[in-house]
Amino acid sequence: MYRYDGRVTHESHDDDGILEVVECDGVRSLHFGSSPRQSSMLLSDPDKLQLDYVRAMTSWLLFKPTFDEALIIGLGGGSLTKHLLYHFPDCRLKAVEYRGNVVKIARSHFGLPLDSRLKVIIDDGAKYVRQRTESEAEQYSLMFIDAFDHEGMAASICNHAFFDACKALLKQDGMLVINLWGGVDKPLFRQVALWLGQTFDWRILFLPVKGRGNIIGLAFNKDAPLHSIKDLRSRAIILEQLHQIEFISYLKGIVRHNSSVINNTIKL
């Protein structure tokens, strides 16, 4: 069976709809019953970050050289989670995924490992965050949010209270990294950007993903340091050589697209 220009190698259903694994030109992708790819993996190099927007989510490394504990809202095929496990041997990760079958597929088809450093929780990510503002207060150095369904951004994260709760879970120098959609749904993007700005005192930056509708948002808690552009440029060169990811381009994009707020986080 062929769909989305590729061969369907797995199809299953749950209460939220269809889950499909499709292979095309050596790339395996996860779909939720529609053409957008929720996750992709290069079969010849499973550890490489294949999707442009996931690669762009690593832009946090420009500002934070390492971390101890991270919370991931939205597991998908687990590309970002695998990347963190591979490059940060001392990290501890907690991933919250709404659909249990997605976790099964991440393990069976996308190589998500059973690893003592990773705890996967089946739950609504927004509810999980809101319910733990006291029990897990200031616990995480990083939070990653990539919560999409077959239609777009998950409705449960589209409110100001959710981002306030996220801030409560971050350490005082912590960072939030979120995948946003700025294509056809620009009013929603502008609303989320406003909530992030209000929650994080406008210590925010946005990185549009070239050729895509995705926009990566970076939000910095109050004790995150102010970085000099000189140091960031030097770091981008080193990171690009180390990870083979386009960090120099990311830094240029961040400077280009954040003129109104960049002085809150970067000394030009």
> What digits encode the pLDDT tens for the residues 154-197?
777 889 999 999 999 999 999 999 999 876 568 888 999 999 99
Q: What is the 3-state secondary structure (H, E, C) of the chain?
A: CEECCEEEEEEEEECCEEEEEEEECCEEEEECCCCCEEEEEECCCCCCCCCHHHHHHHHHHHCCCCCCEEEEECCCCCHHHHHHHHHCCCCEEEEEECCHHHHHHHHHHCCCCCCCCEEEEECCHHHHHHCCCCCCCCCEEEEEECCECCCCECHHHCCHHHHHHHHHHEEEEEEEEEEEECCCCHHHHHHHHHHHHHHCCCCEEEEECCCCCEEEEEEECCCCCCEEHHHHHHHHHHHHHHHCCCHHHHHHHHHHHCCCCHHHCEEC
Q: Is residue 125 a contact partner of residue 147, using CB atoms and an 8 Å limit?
A: yes
**CA 172 – CA 221 distance, rounded (Å):** 6
Per-residue pLDDT at 188:
86
Q: Do residues 96 and 194 share a domain?
A: yes
**Which range among 63-72, 85-94, 163-172, 183-192 shows the weakest confidence by mean pLDDT?**
183-192
Q: Do residues 243 and 122 share a domain?
A: yes
Q: Is residue 246 a contact partner of residue 240, using CB atoms and an 8 Å limit?
A: yes
Per-residue pLDDT at 183:
63
> Is 197 inside any structural domain?
yes
Per-residue pLDDT at 152:
65
The angle formed by the CA atoms of residues 138, 141 and 144, to the nearest 5 degrees, is 110
> What digits encode the pLDDT tens for the residues 103-125?
999 999 999 999 999 999 999 99
Binning pLDDT at 50, 70 and 90, where does residue 51 land?
Answer: very high
**CA 8 – CA 24 distance, rounded (Å):** 9
Per-residue pLDDT at 50:
96
pLDDT over 90 at 11, yes or no: yes
CATH number of the CATH domain containing 116: 3.40.50.150
Per-residue pLDDT at 181:
83
Q: Do residues 131 and 223 share a domain?
A: yes
Q: Do residues 88 and 193 share a domain?
A: yes
> Is 22 inside any structural domain?
yes
Angle of helix 160-169 relative to helix 186-199, nearest 10 degrees?
A: 40
> Is 47 inside any structural domain?
no
> Taking all residues of the chain, what is their mean pLDDT, rounded to a whole number?
94
Where in the sequence is the domain holding 8, given as residue range(s)? 2-42
Average of pLDDT values for 243-265? 97
Instruction: Compare 195 and 210 and report the one with higher pLDDT.
Output: 195
Q: Do residues 35 and 85 share a domain?
A: no
Q: Do residues 103 and 19 share a domain?
A: no
Per-residue pLDDT at 211:
82
Per-residue pLDDT at 140:
98
CB neighbour list of residue 53: distance below 8 Å, 6 or more residues apart: 179, 209, 212, 214, 216
Q: Do residues 176 and 146 share a domain?
A: yes
Per the structure, the count of domains in the chain is 2
> What digits encode the pLDDT tens for the residues 135-153?
999 999 999 999 876 566 7
Q: Do residues 102 and 225 share a domain?
A: yes
pLDDT over 80 at 14, yes or no: yes
Q: Do residues 197 and 73 share a domain?
A: yes
Average of pLDDT values for 247-257? 98
Q: Do residues 113 and 135 share a domain?
A: yes
